[in-house]
Structures are given as C-alpha cells and as structure tokens.
Structure 1
Amino acid sequence: MNHVTQVSIEEHTVGDSGAGPYALTTGPDGALWYTLVHSGQIGRLVPGEEPTRHRLDPDSGPTVIVPGPDGALWFTEYRADRIGRITTDGVIDEFGVPTPGCGPFGIAAGPDGALWFTETAADRIGRVTVDGSVTEFPLPVTGAFPSAITAGGDGGMWFTLNQGNAIGRIAMDGAVTLYPLPTQAAAPVGIAAGRDGVLWFVEIAAGQIGRITPDGKITEFPLPDRAARPHAVTLDGDDVVWFTEWGANRVGSLTFDGSLTVHDLPTPRSEPHGITVGPDGALWTALEIGSLARVAAADGTT
C-alpha cells in the first residue's frame, strides 16, 4: 500500500562533483559530519552555514562515519585499511587494521564502549577501542563482503553480508550467527536498528526492504521499482524507516503498517548514498554529485 506525504527537498552544495559525499551522521556538536570518498576528506555542515572540510590522504577512501562513545566521530578508510577518528574541532587520528587489503567499510559504536567495523575483502569483523587497539574476528564464510553494521538492542552487532546473501550477528565475545535471506542474490547493504529491537536492511539487487527480528525471523517488502537499488537505511524518531534509492534517484519511507512512499530528488542522477536524521530533525542524504539533501515534510517537519 502506498501513502502520499508532501515533502520539501533542499540541496546544499558541500563539494564539487568529483568529491563524492558518501555517508553522513549527526555529531555531538549539532552538526552534520560526512565523508567525501573520492577526495579523501571529512566534511562538517551546520545547517544554514558554510561547510568546512578536513583533509585526509587523498586516496584513503573515507566511507562510513558515526559518532563514537568518546565524543568524537569515527570513520572507515576503505582504500587505506585504516580506521579514523576526528574530534569536533578537527583533530584527526588514524589507526591501521592489521590485515592488509581488508577494505573496512561499515562502522558503528557497540554496547561495550568500542567501535565495530566490517572488513569487506577479508571476511572479518573488526573491533577498535577508543585508544586505537584493533581486534579482528573471522567470519565462517568466504567471499561474503560484509558491508554495513549496527548495534542491535540485544547486546550484539548486526551486519549485512552483501555477497553472502545473509544477515549476521556477532556477540561481544566474537561468536557469529548467520541468517540466510529468503530471496536469492538480494545483496543486502545498509542496516539500521529500531527502538523495538528489530533490524531493518536494504537489498540493493532485489529492490526490497528487509526486516529481521532478534530471533532471526525475516520479512521482505518489495519496492514498487525493483530496479531502484536501495542503498542505505535509517529510522526517524517515530521509527519510520527511511532509505535511499541509489539507482532511481529517490528517497523513500516505510511505516510500521507497510505503507510506502517514495520521493524524487530534484537533481537527476544525483546518486544518493547515506541517509540520517539531522540535528534539525529532518532527514539528510548524501548525494555523490557534491551535495547533501534535506528532506522534510512540507510543514517543515519530518
């Protein structure tokens, strides 16, 4: 069932078309922090002000960025095999991952006060403490391309296996459980946790939104456009699921009762990737063409 919601979408330029805004999050300072994957930078935007950027190695490939438990922002450097930390005043530290060519991608704060991350090319989940000590946990599969990761409400970390066609859970002691998806070759990418303990994820190759309970029960919701290539997912304050459609130039939302709405982005082929709730309560998405887009209800609220 579809429902119609009027929204306003505003684009805020934060870099040139080659910079590649990829993922974004709200920092503890009330600003949006985002990665510029192609130019090797971390950006900061306070809505209504000019953006600022902090330089990394140009070829480091910063991808996902999240708030850490220490008041700083933490991010993965996909091409450099490093985990980065940046304080809200711009001081950067970087920590190497022991396995060369591991391709760290997803990252999330865990319930143990550390950051957990995926190693896409090494079939491992990593853990880094706030002082930079890294531990790696091998997965019981090969070539699975672990991608996004998030903390569940059950004390574990949940992640997608993009090429393994499964959702995984890793406990704080490193024990791994895998849950195969009903749809073959669905290629899950983004994952996010709701307040009720349920996890939501997107299947980029199948054009579906997935839902998994802590005991492993999976439900899939097909999108109207199965070729939309959903990429990232988040939940707003009402536990409405929001996602990007990278291949269709849209953002969409899915309510608890299964009502689905999609919204076209203003600029064609803008390549929406990450999505998050901003400091102003609106949804923000990173557009690889060089912008962040603000999505709000027509009355100014999400």
Structure 2
Amino acid sequence: MIRSCALLVLVYCFHHTIIIGQHIETIAGNGVNASQDGPIETASLANPFGVVRGPDGDLWFCEYDGHKVRKITLDGKIVTIVGTGKAGYVGDGSQASKAQLNKPHEIRFDQQGILFIADMSNHAVRKVDLTSGVITTVAGTGIGGFSGDGGPAIAAQLKDPHSIQFGPNGDLYIADVGNHRIRRIDIGTGIISTFAGNGSQGATPDGGSFTEVPLLTPRTIDFDAEGHMWVALKKANQIFRLDLENGTLHHVAGTGELGFDGNGGNARLATLSGPKGLAIAPNGDVFIADTESHSIRRIDAKTGTIDVVAGTGSQFSGSDGDPLQCGLGRPHGVFVDTDGSILIGDSENHKIRVLRWH
C-alpha cells in the first residue's frame, strides 16, 4: 500500500529546510530482504540499487542481493525481467529471464529503449533488447582488470563497474570504479577508451585536466542539461563537474573528509559520507544518495548550497511522511522522475520510496 502524509507548514529544524508540501512515500517493498514478484502490496525487494523510469512508463530497478532487474508496472505489479536470482555470468545470446547477473548496481535505457546493466561483480556491462528479450555483453570479459583501450569494448577488461550513463552524443560512459577511471564506448564503433582518470588513487586537483588527474573510486555519474558530466568519488567523499568543452574538472561538493556536516551552507565546505548515487534535475539541482549518512542531499544549482531532503543521518527504516524524520538504510539509487519527484532506492530497507513536492 502506498502511504503518505503531506507536510503543511514550512519548518526550519537543525539547519534543514522543509519545503511546503514535501513528503516521502513507500511505493514498493515490505522491508523483507527477498525478491518475490506479485502485487505491489505484497511483493518483496532484495536490496534495490539503481532505479529509473523506463520508456514504457514502468518503474525499473536492479537488485544487488536479488541479482535481478525488475519493474513495477503501471497496473501495480512487480515482475522480474532479467535474472534468475542466482549470482553468475551465463545466458548471453538467450532470454534475459534465464540469464544470471552478479550484483547489478545500475540500469539505464538508450534512445532506442534498449536496457543496459552495470553488472558489477561480473565486471561487465550488458544489454537487453526488450523486443526480443535477448541479453548480450557490450563491455567486459567477465574477469576484472584493466585492458583493451582502443579496441572493441567486448574484449576489454573492467573492474567493478558501478555506474553507467549515456552522454549527449549517445556514447556510453562507465564508472570503472576498481580502475579509478571513467571509460567511454563509442556508440558507433563499439571502441572503448579511457575518458577521465589516470588510474592512480591520489587527491583530485580542482581545475585540472580530467584525463590526467587521479579519480579515487568514481562511483556514480550523470549529465546535466548543458552536457557536463558529474561524478561522485566515493572514497574521496567529493563531487566534481567535468567540463567536456575545455577538458577540465571542477570541485563542487565535499571537503574530502567523511561526515555529515555543512548542511545549509556552501557544498564545497560540507562533508559527505560515501556518495554512491547522483541525479541531475532539469533545473540543475543535484541530488546525491549520500549512502553512509543514510540520506538524500541536494545541491542548489543557483546558490551552491547543500541540504538534506530525506533521511536523518542515521540508519533506520522510517515511517512515511516527513522526509527529514524518515530514516533510510544506505540508499544507493536516486532518480529525478518526469514529474519532478525523486525516486529513491532505499537499499537496506528493501524499499523504493518517492519524495514529492506539492
């Protein structure tokens, strides 16, 4: 059952501003760590990570513990589309429902409606043609490592790819976390190359050339309306914006220290806690799944300030209603929906929630 409780007043509490009418709702999951299909009221989820709105209008998500890609249909059912539920790396060239995934982290759709999966522990990116239902690998050999730049992505090695996103020209970008790089696949040729990061694990300098600087665990990526890439560095606890026109990257949020301070102030002076999800709204606001602070935070595009929009800073399975009193459990997925609401993969609470403004 969808549960909601709208806030009717503007409250300022502990340096967090609540927007009039802001509320959070559980739209799927009963809190039990199980991957069971069925009506949305009774179906269970197994550690949902990435969540997106599909071209069919359904809400799609991947499960880290369930080793599946599933969706919530418009008529209120949860069904499995990819994966048997057993961790593995089999099934290429056959029906996706009979294939095995291994801890998928994120999913995206291309302009043709083909589903792409960051199949993390298989060190691969896979795709599913939803017309035929067939799954294939588009990048990675299944063995973690770093190789293959300048050649076919299918023959290259990745290491723990966590995040994928399509750029303005349709190329596929991969957050190749274990290699401390962002890789790019030319959509026309299938050739893979390193787009950003030199593979080292040092501090990232502000204003440097993004092809030459260290990127310490680039965990999640997204693009804004102007075509700039945003990347969250999990272990560095920072967020950078990559200017694709001049080849430089710029520090946007996080001091580099692990923490949950600075809300209501300059995002550059705030502390983050292992950010693992990013979503850019059409107006430029940046939503962060700040996983280890169990919260969703927002950078205001106009002011550069950061604040909390959901979560208390502590791990808990909170009740629906006031989003700042609703405890989250290591959220990984965050997505700006077509109506402006924020979809959240509340991972260790085994729920998908939605944050709305009215």
TM over 0.5: yes
Return the structure number with greater relative CO, CA threshold 8 A, min gap 6: 1
Is 1:175–2:191 an aligned residue pair? yes
* Structure 2 match to 1:119: 119
Change (3 A) 1:276 1:223: same
Deviations 1:161-204 (A, max 9, x none): 12111112223242222234363462122222211111212111
Choose which of 94, 110, 122 in structure 1 pairs with 2:81. 94
User: Is the contact made by 2:60 and 2:70 (CA closer than 8 Å) also made in structure 1?
Assistant: yes
Cα distance in 1, alignment partners of residues 101 and 345 from structure 2: 26
The alignment of Structure 1 onto Structure 2 pairs a total of residues equal to: 267
**Post-superposition offset of 1:14:** 5.8
* Structure 2 match to 1:218: 249
**Alignment root-mean-square deviation, CA:** 3.5
Change (3 A) 1:278 1:42: farther
Cα distance in 2, alignment partners of residues 64 and 284 from structure 1: 10
User: Is the contact made by 1:5 and 1:261 (CA closer than 8 Å) also made in structure 2?
Assistant: no
Change (3 A) 1:169 1:81: same
Cα distance in 1, alignment partners of residues 38 and 337 from structure 2: 14
TM-score normalised to structure 1 length: 0.72
Gaps of at least 5 residues in structure 2 are 1-14, 84-89, 93-99, 141-147, 149-155, 198-202, 205-213, 259-272, 316-327
User: Is the contact made by 1:69 and 1:114 (CA closer than 8 Å) also made in structure 2?
Assistant: no
Give the helix-richer structure, 1 or 2: 2
User: Is the contact made by 1:108 and 1:116 (CA closer than 8 Å) also made in structure 2?
Assistant: yes
Change (3 A) 1:205 1:5: same
**Post-superposition offset of 1:267:** 6.6
Higher gyration radius (CA): 2
User: Is the contact made by 1:160 and 1:190 (CA closer than 8 Å) also made in structure 2?
Assistant: yes
Deviations 1:71-108 (A, max 9, x none): 44444354565544553233735345536564432110
Is 1:12–2:25 an aligned residue pair? yes
Give the strand-richer structure, 1 or 2: 1
Matches within 5 A, 1:1-302: 6-8=17-19, 10-13=23-26, 18-19=31-32, 38-41=33-36, 52-54=41-43, 62-78=48-64, 82-84=68-70, 87-89=73-75, 90=77, 92-96=79-83, 98=91, 102-131=102-131, 132-139=133-140, 140=148, 142=157, 144-172=159-187, 173-181=189-197, 183=204, 184=214, 186-214=216-244, 217-224=248-255, 226-227=257-258, 228-256=273-301, 259-263=304-308, 265-266=311-312, 268-269=314-315, 270=328, 271-278=330-337, 281-287=340-346, 288-289=348-349, 292=353, 294=355, 296=357, 300=358
